[in-house]
Structure 1
Amino acid sequence: MEVILTIIFFTIFWAAVAKYGPILLTKEPHDDLVRCIFLLTAVVCWLFWLCCYLAQLNPLLGPKLNGNTIRIIASSWGNPIKEG
C-alpha cells in the first residue's frame, strides 16, 4: 500500500511542477518555450525517479554459486580461500 501512495505522491508533485512551474515566472516573451521546458523537466524527472524506485522494489540478484565455484573464482583472482 505504501508503494502505491509513494508513487501517487511523487506523480502529483511532478504534475504540480509541470503545471504551476511556469506560473511562478514573470511574463516572458518566450512563454511557450518555458512551459515546454517545465513540462519536459517534470516528465523526465518523474520517469527517472519511477524507474529507480521500481528497480529497488525487485532488485536483481546475482547467481547462486556453490562453494566449489567460489573457490575456483577466488583462486583465479589470486585470493585462495584457506580451509581450516
Structure 2
Amino acid sequence: MGASVIPFVIFTVLWGGIGIILPIFVPKGPNRGIVQVILMLTGVCCWLFWLCCYVAQMNPLIGPKLEQNIILIMAEKWGNAVTE
C-alpha cells in the first residue's frame, strides 16, 4: 500500500488554510496575537498528527507469528481452551 497524493494535498491545504490564512482575518483586539498563535499551532499540530497517522498506515506493524502449540497453551491459560 503506497501513499496517495490526493489526501496529502487536501489535508495540507485544509490545515495550511487554518494555520496560515485564518490568522490574517482575526479582528483587531487585545488578544489578537494570542488567537493568531493558537490558530497557527492548531494547524501545525493537527496536520502533523494527521501525517503521522497516515504514514503509519503505509507500513503497519504485524503481530508476532506464534506456533500452534503456543497459541493453544495461551488459550488454555486465558480460559479460552480450544477443542480439537
TM category (shorter chain) comes to 0.7 to 0.9
Counterpart of 1:71 in structure 2 is 72
For the 8 Å contact 2:15–2:44, the answer to whether it is kept is yes
Identity of aligned residues (%): 46
Q: How many Å apart are 1:47 and its aligned residue?
A: 0.8
For the 8 Å contact 2:23–2:35, the answer to whether it is kept is yes
Q: Distance in 2 between matches of 1:63 and 1:21?
A: 46
Q: How many Å apart are 1:81 and its aligned residue?
A: 1.0
Query: Secondary structure of the residue that 2:57 maps to in structure 1?
Result: helix
Counterpart of 1:31 in structure 2 is 32
Counterpart of 1:40 in structure 2 is 41
For CA contacts below 8 A with separation 6 or more, give which structure has more relative contact order.
Answer: 2
Number of aligned residue pairs: 83
Counterpart of 1:59 in structure 2 is 60
Query: Secondary structure of the residue that 2:71 maps to in structure 1?
Result: helix
Counterpart of 1:8 in structure 2 is 9
Higher helix share: 1
TM-score by length of 2: 0.83
For the 8 Å contact 2:3–2:58, the answer to whether it is kept is no
In the alignment, does 2:23 pair up with 1:22? yes
TM-score by length of 1: 0.83
Superposed CA RMSD: 1.7
In structure 2, stretches of 5+ residues that fail to align are none
